Chain A
Amino acid sequence: MRGSVVRGLILKDWRLQRAQIICSLCGGAFALALVQWGGETPIVVGGVWFFVALILVGHTLPLLGIINERKKQHLAFLMSLPVSYIQYTTAKLVANVVLFLIPWLTLVSAAVMLIEIRGVVPPGAIPVVLILALLPFVGFSLITGAVLVGETEGWGLAANVFCSSTYGLVWYFLTRIPGLMAHATGPSPVWNSTALIILAGECALITLLLGLTYFLQSRKRDFV
């Protein structure tokens, strides 16, 4: 019986990257613990570290898992296996998205639950936290696409710099949207149209970036 090569490649990525996932989970958990300390400084520092943990895992996963595979000449070894390039792309996209989602879902769910249960941060902030937490996911999708399609470290670094410098700006503009921030300090989350449109826009952008990556990869003719 022939094994599934795509599944084998996904499991291989999990074995290679799990230490990094565990590190990001520990970092994010520490940041959330700091927020629970209460007081302005721990909340601000813990909040920043929380997003930094999400950004770090989102940026390093594609750089280490995709670019390194090409740079360190593992790709020729993988492509000698019974797999087509589009199957390799599928495995890479699935593995990276799943590996990113493990810390992202865990940390974001934990953050939302702690806000709901402990109330150190007002529950009205939940939509804003979710919107801000999706930004590293958008960045991850852009960097993943850049390194898979661009095939060079240069493209990865360019996407990395672009995302890193854009987060601050996007945060600035998001926090200036009245419909979003008006309820941020409220006792319960308000899912108004502004919040929902922004969340839907982020999800659409993630889907578009990953879909476009898959499409562009499927049109390539030379792989190594």
Chain B
Amino acid sequence: MSDSAIELSGVGKKYRFFSLDNIHLKLPEGQIMGLIGPNGAGKSTTIRILMGLVHQDTGHVRVLGFRMPAEQVAAKWDIGFVSEDMRLYESMTLGWHMNFIQSIYPNWDPAYAQLLLKRFGVRAEQKIKGLSHGQRVKAMLLLVLARKPKLLVLDEPTTGLDPVARHEILRELTNVMADDGRSVLFSSHNTQDVEQISDQITFIDRGRIIDSMDKEMYLDRWRRLRLEAPLGIELPALPGIVDVRQEGRLAIATANAFVPDLANAYERAGVRVQRIESMTLEEIFVANVEHSREEVGA
């Protein structure tokens, strides 16, 4: 049995106007991974492949130790999947959906379901068509969480939610993670949401994984250096610097593998390092995507 909840290796899928290329992704059990990418980057396609809903053209996919898509039925007993483009039956009540899911899943926990109803502020007798967008997302999360899956796959669940609803959902996800065995893959283009709950971050753009590592490692390694280069001194090209923007004597260098020696190297070249700044995940994401696009374009 594998100790990875999700393992994609060399996965590819070609469409007419989009292709997913050579995707390698590994989510260890008990971890939360944020999958961040701009719209159309391939997040949903990747998730559909790992759910067995779309067959990959190349590569191998294992989820909870099961080969996908061949063993998707066995795997999906322990996967809770919520997607932004997923809808419940509008003419039926939330209670009807709860009964439907309970009739299928032996792990359904009625007490926990009742607790979630209270926490999320939704009522079982409410028809889905009478719920707001935020309440519908909460209803779907309730249906998934109350069956206690080992793996949660959430495809942009917070898209379109107001800040309060987003906060409630993220808080519940954090609570769910108190169960150490549970793994979560959380896709979003909202880096703030991902930053709050993820252990690992994967950036995807134009069908390629451009970076994947521990969240803390990202925050440690990425730095912005504000530099001042006296007239006649050229900024040296240093390893680990992925972007330099210069206006007159002032420059901003972005490092994706920052070590204190980098600042020393600038100083040795006659460039004054004014300030070294930490970067937010959003800034890291944007810099990463731009750097990756420049590399591909070069």
Contacts and interface: CB of A to CB of B under 8 A. Distances in A.
Contacts of A74: 87-89
A221 B54 contact: yes
Interface stretch (A1-9, A35-43, A108-116, A204-212): A1-9
A5 B81 CA distance: 16
Interface in B76-124: 76-77, 79-83, 85-92, 96, 100, 103-106
Interface stretch (A21-29, A75-83, A187-195): A75-83
B54 A84 contact: no
Given A16-B92, A73-B85, A87 B73 contact: yes
Contacts of B73: 82-84, 87
B86 A73 contact: yes
A82 B52 CA distance: 11
B86 A76 contact: yes
Contacts of B54: 221-224
Contacts of A15: 92, 96
A3 B76 contact: no
B76 A83 contact: yes
A12 interface: yes
B68 to A, nearest CB: 11
Contacts of A1: 106
B41 interface: no
Contacts of A222: 53-55
B76 A82 contact: yes
A77 B85 CA distance: 9
Interface in A63-108: 72-74, 76-77, 79-84, 87
B33 interface: no
Interface in B31-86: 48, 51-55, 72-74, 76-77, 79-83, 85-86
Given A3-B106, A81-B76, A8 B100 contact: yes
- Size bracket of the A interface: 20 to 34
Contacts of B85: 73, 76
A82 B80 CA distance: 10
B104 A73 contact: no
Interface residues of B, number: 31
Given A1-B106, A87-B73, A224-B48, A79 B88 contact: no
A88 to B, nearest CB: 11
Contacts of B76: 80-83
A37 to B, nearest CB: 37
Given A73-B86, A84-B73, A3 B104 contact: yes
Contact of A5 (B55, B79, B104): B104
A76 to B, nearest CB: 4
Please indicate which of the listed interface residues A3, A11, A79, A87 has the most CB atoms of chain B within 10 Å of its own CB: A79
Interface string A156-189: 0000000000000000000000000000000000
Contacts of B88: 74, 77
A79 B53 contact: yes
A77 B55 contact: no
Contacts of B74: 82
Interface in B129-144: 140
Given A3-B104, A221-B54, A82 B77 contact: yes
A184 to B, nearest CB: 44
Contacts of B104: 2-3, 5, 8, 81-82
A92 to B, nearest CB: 15
Contact of A224 (B53, B87, B100, B140): B53
Contacts of A72: 87, 90
Nearest to B82: A80
Closest 5 CB pairs of A and B: A80-B81, A221-B55, A73-B87, A82-B76, A76-B86
16 contacts: A2-B106, A3-B103, A8-B104, A15-B92, A16-B91, A76-B53, A76-B83, A76-B85, A77-B87, A77-B140, A79-B51, A80-B79, A80-B86, A82-B77, A222-B54, A224-B48
Given A1-B106, A3-B103, A223-B53, 17 more contacts: A3-B105, A8-B103, A8-B104, A12-B100, A16-B92, A76-B83, A76-B86, A77-B88, A79-B51, A80-B82, A80-B86, A82-B73, A84-B73, A222-B53, A222-B54, A224-B53, A224-B54
